[in-house]
Amino acid sequence: MNIPLIDLKAQHEVIKEEIMDAIKEVIESGSFILGQNVKALEKEIAEFTNTKYGIGVGNGTDGLQLILEAYGIGEGDEVITTPFTFFATAEAISQTKAVPVFVDIDKDSYNIDVNKIEEKITNKTKAIIPVHIFGQPADMDKILEIGKHYKIIVIEDACQAIGADYKGKKIGSLGNAACFSFYPTKNLGGIGDGGMIVTNDELVAERIKMLRFHGQRKKYYSEILGHNSRLDEVQAAILRIKLKYLKEWNEKRSQFAYRYTKKLKDFPLKTPIELANIYSVYHLYVALAEERDELVKYLHCNGIACGIYYPVPLHLQKAYKSLNYNKGDFPISEYVSKRAIALPLYPEMTEEIQDYIIEKIKDFYLGR
């Protein structure tokens, strides 16, 4: 048996005809950049997340940077975030010439520890970027309370969490603005790069629209220095099809995640803990294993792909050597990074496939 971590072929096979028809329509339209499909998807994502404005951009990383720039964040400013996430979160901060300031994570959710944020706030702090890691929402009530008290904007990095709920509210609708990624492996993924910003702030939405298109409201008339970060029509057309299935796909992910947790409870693994009053969309199913590297090798030998998220926390990345962080500065992030293993999880997975994975995990521990 050969089991991938995520099976994109299986997903696309189910909706192949719809996708091919949509691509054909785009080609025949002759409109490929910021056309009708992009406008429609922007509206649909805004409605899906209960926000007023959606702005399609080139990718999730660009989305975070454009939000920061739209709020005037730049050189000399500080932005608080987590060191346990994909590099793009901090990279977007650095690209604006602001400085990422890291706060360690909670030991159960792996999201930013809200009880440690305030000690990192200075008069240079302009924003907090919580990451809804692996599809589980961060503790937004406390983060929003801190943001309001210190007059700091809150930007949701929701790249892994489209469709997730926090106390009955859609992720993306809670902060000043939020960003989603449509990278192919995401819960809502295209067949290339893509991203979406959502916000309820009309002025910020208009500025982001300018920033994504060379600082222009009107073609050839640049009012500010901007970027070239636009969602294309082919991706938008495909994403509009997939959006119709997203709720169903997320529910299937959750069902398989709960099944993993139930069947792995007797093994020496720390399975994900879903916090109260939230709905995680399980972009990844990440467990902790003391013998992580040996388990990964064993599963690979048995035809089971798995992932390591994330092998090096951001404060220890070579690119951030200048920030002068050291090993031990964020012990929980470092602990989790050495033990985290993502098991195969995708909506098209079957119980038979999942049972095979569970059986091999059992064999690994019984054979030690």
CB 79 within 8 A of CB 93: yes
Q: pLDDT tens-digit profile of 252-302?
A: 999 999 999 999 999 999 999 988 899 999 999 999 999 999 999 999 999
Q: What single string gives the DSSP state of each residue in 142-194? A: HHHHHHHHHT-EEEEE-TT-TT-EETTEETTSSSSEEEEE--TTSSS--SS--
Q: Would you say the CATH fold of 246-366 matches that of 8-243? A: no
Position 368 pLDDT exceeds 90: no
Q: Is the pLDDT of residue 306 over 80?
A: yes
CB-based contacts of 240, cutoff 8 Å, min separation 6: 22, 37, 40, 41, 44
Triad 112, 70, 39: Cα angle to 5° = 100
List the CATH code of the domain at 246-366: 3.90.1150.10
What is the pLDDT, as a whole number, of residue 155?
99
Q: Domain ranges in the chain?
A: 8-243, 246-366
pLDDT, one tens digit per residue, over 119-175 is 999 999 999 999 999 999 999 999 999 999 999 999 999 999 999 999 999 999 999
Whole-number Å distance between alpha carbons of 358 and 263: 7
pTM over 0.95? The answer is yes
| Confidence bin at 367 (pLDDT 50/70/90) | confident
With contact defined as beta carbons under 8 Å apart, do 27 and 35 qualify? no
Tens digits of residue pLDDT in 38-86: 999 999 999 999 999 999 999 999 999 999 999 999 999 999 999 999 9
Domain 8-243 sits in CATH at 3.40.640.10
> What is the per-residue pLDDT across 170-215, written as a single tens digit (0 to 9) for each?
999 999 999 999 999 999 999 999 999 999 999 999 999 999 999 9
